[in-house]
Amino acid sequence: MKNNIKAFRVKHHYTQDDLAEKLEVSRQTIISLEKERYNPSITLAFKISRLFNCSIEDVFIYEEE
């Protein structure tokens, strides 16, 4: 799933390690999310949107196949 995680992370001046710590996941998870190799659980998607103070739709771009 396409996403804007890296753009939000950079905008908030977080490193991948910072974001991983705040979301209580590994840095590898952040890398996989940013490279669109991994789709987060709904819980993680909510955590990400709350951290960046935006909607899930602002972070994740749903495209029907």
Give the integer Cα–Cα distance in Å for 7 and 12: 9
Give the integer Cα–Cα distance in Å for 60 and 58: 6
pLDDT at residue 25 greater than cutoff 90: yes
Q: Topology of 2-61 in CATH?
A: 434 Repressor (Amino-terminal Domain) (1.10.260)
Query: What's the confidence (pLDDT) of residue 53?
Result: 97
Q: What is the mean pLDDT of residues 2-26?
A: 98
Task: Supply 7's token pair.
Answer: 């753009």
**pLDDT digits over 55-64, tens only?**
999 999 987 7
Give the integer Cα–Cα distance in Å for 24 and 20: 6
Query: What's the confidence (pLDDT) of residue 62?
Result: 84
Task: For the chain, give every domain's residue range.
Answer: 2-61
User: Does this model's pTM top 0.85?
Assistant: yes
Q: What percent of the chain has pLDDT over 90?
A: 92
